[in-house]
Amino acid sequence: MNRLIRVASIGLTTAVLALTTACDSGAPAIDPIDYAPPVDTNAVFAPGSTMRQLQEQGRITIGTKFDQPLFGLKNPVTGRPQGFDAEMGKLIAAGLGIAHDRIDWVETVSANREPFLQQGRVDLVIATYTINDKRKEIIHFGGPYYVAGQALMVRAGNPDRVTAPDDLAGKDVCAVEGSASSTNIRHRVPGARVVLFDSYSKCAEALKNSQVVAMTTDNTILGGLRSLDAESFELVPGTFTEEPYGIGIARERADLVRFVDDILRTAFADGAWSAAWDRTAGRVLGAAPPPPDLERY
């Protein structure tokens, strides 16, 4: 059985440190993109539908990560998150007739995504959020809009020679509370000691400080964190799970699921999805893969 170690949060977030490091090393810091997709001002929604309600409100609240480069990283100048998740949010809002500057962004971490939807604190969660059966018992998912895979990141030079998940038996590995990654690693390597934080930026800091030998989550997140501090980290090649990213929606709002899927279907077909990828995650992770199958998950 795993020994779970809950570690108190550390003061400074790694995102801030990493950004400073990125600037110092001459690597690209925060992506200055602030793309505004065309807003559908003619959309007509059935009275009483969730879409009509949001359209009339003229605002939407979206939960996303604030410390994850490439997907959701809060820009300290605009105060808005940037990344592929944020771009998906902007596309959906635009389809409801809501401009990107009328989105109320709320930070969600891995563990509070379902509660925030259930409590009505957010209308959508777009936050590297894996669609899985356990979560589907509580909430709905639109999508998927991307399929990631779980991987491992170690310190540069791989001092502990971690080449596969099984090498973590008897060692400390960092994961985030409430994440699919933490559940997966416990099942995959029962002998690993899983050290939990509430965010990936804190995990990266623990790895950098040698509190753990590795951190584990989706290859997308690890690739983004490494891109900000390539001198400190390296990825272990390969993935060992499939993580289809969905758009979290409250249980009682099934109509919004169909709407979100329609927006994604259109974005897959008209190039908006791959353009969003190219100007965010694609800058580090490479060309967009074919869009995922909306019927599969």
**Site residues (vs ligand GLU, CB under 6 A):** 110, 127-130, 176, 179-181, 217-218, 221, 243
Any idea of the CA torsion for 255, 260, 266, 271, to the nearest 10 degrees?
A: 180
Question: What angle separates helix 254-270 from helix 84-95, to the nearest 10 degrees?
Answer: 110
Q: Smallest distance, Å, CB 184 to ligand GLU?
A: 9
How far CA 53 is from CA of 40, 49, 57, in Å, comes to 15, 6, 6
Residue among 55 and 130 whose Cβ is closer to ligand GLU:
130
Gap between the Cα atoms of 123 and 150, Å rounded? 27
Shortest distance, CB of residue 29 to ligand GLU, whole angstroms?
23
Rounded least distance, CB 293 to ligand GLU, Å: 18
If the CB atoms of residues 127 and 272 are measured against ligand GLU, the closer one turns out to be: 127
Asked if residues 43 and 95 have their Cβ atoms less than 8 Å apart, the reply is: yes
Cβ closest to ligand GLU, residue 172 vs residue 243 = 243
Min dist CB 233 to ligand GLU, Å, is: 17
Show the tokens assigned to 269: 């077909």
Is 54 or 84 the residue whose CB approaches ligand GLU more closely? 84
Q: CB-wise, 54 or 70, nearer to ligand GLU?
A: 70
Token pair belonging to 1: 């059985």
- Of the pair 139, 180, the CB lying nearest ligand GLU is at 180
Minimum distance, C-beta of residue 220 to ligand GLU, in the bound complex (Å): 8
Q: Phi first, then psi: what are they for 101, rounded to 5°?
A: -85, 5
d(CA 185, CA 34): 36
Instruction: Quote the least distance from Cβ 85 to ligand GLU, whole Å.
Output: 10
Closer residue to ligand GLU, CB minimum distance, 55 or 110: 110
Q: Within a 10 A sphere around the Cβ of 30, how many other Cβ atoms?
A: 18
Quote the Cα angle for 273-274-278, to 5°.
Answer: 120
Smallest gap from residue 224 Cβ to ligand GLU (A)? 11
Q: CB of 28 within 8 A of CB of 71?
A: no
